[in-house]
A and B are shown apart, each in its own frame.
Chain A
Amino acid sequence: MAACSVEQLLAKAEQEEAEKLKSISVHKELDLDFDVGNLLACDKNRIESRDFREQKKEDFLRSLARDNTQLLINEIWKLPTERVEEAIVAKLPEPATPLPREKPPPKPRPPTKWEQFAKLKGIQKKKKTNLVWDENAKEWRRRWGYKRANDDTKEWLIEVPETADPNEDQFAKRVKAKKERVAKNEFNRLRNIARAQKVKVPGVGLTPKAQQSKDELSRAVSVAKTSTASMGRFQDRLPKEKAPKNQGKKRKFEPLIGDFSSEKQRQLELLKVMDSKKPKLDITKAVNKQMREDDREEAAAKHKKGAGKKGRKGNMLGKGKGGKGKGGKAGGGGKKKGKPGKH
C-alpha cells in the first residue's frame, strides 16, 4: 500500500513537473507582435468560435490570457536585466507603438498686443548676441542678468539733471522707476494671458502675484468669503481667525457744504442735551463749599478767642466737624478734616 502510494506520488510529481515546463513554453500558430516598451503583445491567431460558444468560455479566455502573458514575460526576460535592491529589473526599450492623443490639440494662442502691433508695422524680431562688450570691465559680459555689462544699479554717481529738483533722491528715483516697469510688464503679461484664455481678470490687487503681502492676502480671503450666495454670512471662520475690520457698508458723510442752518441747529441741540445731562450738584463743589464754611468758622473762632476768653466754651461748639481741638491750631490745620467724596 505504501509502495504504490509512493509511486503514485512520484508519478504525480513528474506530471506536475511536465505541466510546469509545458506552461512556460507556449505553442502558437502565428507569433505574437511584441512592443515590450509599452508591455504590449498583440495576438493575431484565429480564435475558434467553437471554443467560445461552449460553456467553458471563461476557462478558454483565462487560458488564452495566461498563454499570451507567458509569452510576453518570456520576451521581457530576454531583455538585459540589472539588480536594484533585491529585485531584478529589466530595462525596457523605447515604446514603438505611437499612442493617440488623450486630449484635443491646443488651439493657437491669440497674438499679444505687441505681436499684433509688430505684424501691423512689419517689425521683425532681431536676433541679439548673448554677450556684450563691457567697456569698464574690459571683457565680454552677458546682456542682462548676473554680472551684466553696463549695470545701471551699480553706478555710484548719478548726475542731477538741470531740470530736476536738487533735493530729489536720484538713486531712489531709479529704483522706483525700475519697480514700476517690472510691475507694468507683469501686469501686461497677465493681461495677455487673460485675453488668450478669455478669462475675466479680477479687480486690482486680487490677481495672484509671486509675493503677496499680508493685507493683499487677507483682502483676497475676504473677497472669496463674501462671494457666496448669502454674501459670506454663513461661512465658517478658522479657529483663530479674527473678524475683518473695515467691513460693512461704506460710511456716508454729510455733504461738505450742506445746509448751514440745519447743521447749526443740530449742534445747538446736541449742546442742550449735553448741558441737561450734567449733574446739577457737584460733589466737589459741595465739599468746597463745606470747606469754605469751615474756614470761615475757624477764622471767626480765632477772632472771637482773640477778643475775649469768656466765650471760649460757647464757641467750641461749632458745626458737626468742628470740635476736634480747634483752639490750638491755626487756619492751616484744616488738612486734618475729612474730605468726603474727593475720590
Chain B
Amino acid sequence: MRPLTEEETKTMFEKLSKYIGENIKLLVDRPDGTYCFRLHNDRVYYMSEKILKLATNISRDKLISVGTCFGKFTKTKKFRLHITALDFLAPYAKFKVWVKPGAEQSFLYGNHVLKSGLGRITENTMQYQGVVVYSMADVPLGFGVAAKTTQECRRVDPMSIVVFHQADVGEFIRSEDTLT
C-alpha cells in the first residue's frame, strides 16, 4: 500500500471530476475526519486514517481491501472507476439521469439506457458528461456517460442510446470475484 503519486492523483481526480465536478473537495477535505486515498495492487482505496493505521498491521500479500475501492489503474495507467465508488459519487453528482421502472432492469443487466427508458435528465448535460443513474425512486443504480446532450435527448428517436453504461449495482453479483 502506498499513497498516490502526483500524476496518479491527477488522473484520478480528472476522472472523478467528470462525475462530481468540484465536489471532490468535499471528499478530500471532510469535516468528520481525515480520509485519504491509498494505492494497493493497482487499486485505489478511500479510507479514514483510523482504518489506514489498522491496515498497516496486515502484510501486503494478505491484504485484500481497505475502506472502499474507488477504482483501479490499468496497465497503461488509465483510471477506471468501479461501482463500489457509487456511494461517494451519488450524493455529490452534478448531472443525474432518472430511469423509468421498465428500463431499470435492462440497465442493471449492463445495457445502455435508451431514450425510451429515460425518465428525467438534468438540464444542461453536455455530451459525454459523466452522469449518475437513478431509478425513479431516487435510488442510485450506477453511473454512465451521457451519449447526447439534454437538448438532443428531446429530439432523438426512442431507440437511440442516451446514456452509455459504465457501472451498475448489478455488478456486485456479476463480477463478484473481481470486485475487491
Contacts and interface: CB of A to CB of B under 8 A. Distances in A.
Contact of B124 (A253, A270, A288): A288
B5 A253 contact: yes
Interface residues of A, number: 28
Contact of A260 (B34, B56, B155): B34
Interface string B75-86: 000000000000
B28 A284 contact: no
Contacts of B150: 288
State which size class the interface on B falls in. 20 to 34
B6 A256 contact: no
Interface of B is mostly: helix
Which of A264, A282, A285, A288 counts the most B-chain CB atoms under 10 A from its CB? A288
B126 interface: yes
A32 interface: no
Given A256-B56, A258-B3, A268-B28, A334 B155 contact: yes
Contacts of B124: 285, 288
A12 interface: no
Interface string B1-35: 11101100110011001000010110011000010
A292 B151 contact: yes
B151 A275 contact: no
Which of B1, B38, B56, B126 counts the most A-chain CB atoms under 10 A from its CB? B126
B29 A268 contact: yes
B56 A288 contact: no
B95 to A, nearest CB: 13
Given A288-B126, A295-B151, 8 more contacts: A254-B3, A260-B49, A270-B10, A274-B13, A284-B149, A288-B151, A335-B155, A342-B127
Interface of B: 1-3, 5-6, 9-10, 13-14, 17, 22, 24-25, 28-29, 34, 36, 38, 49, 52-53, 56, 124, 126-127, 149-151, 155
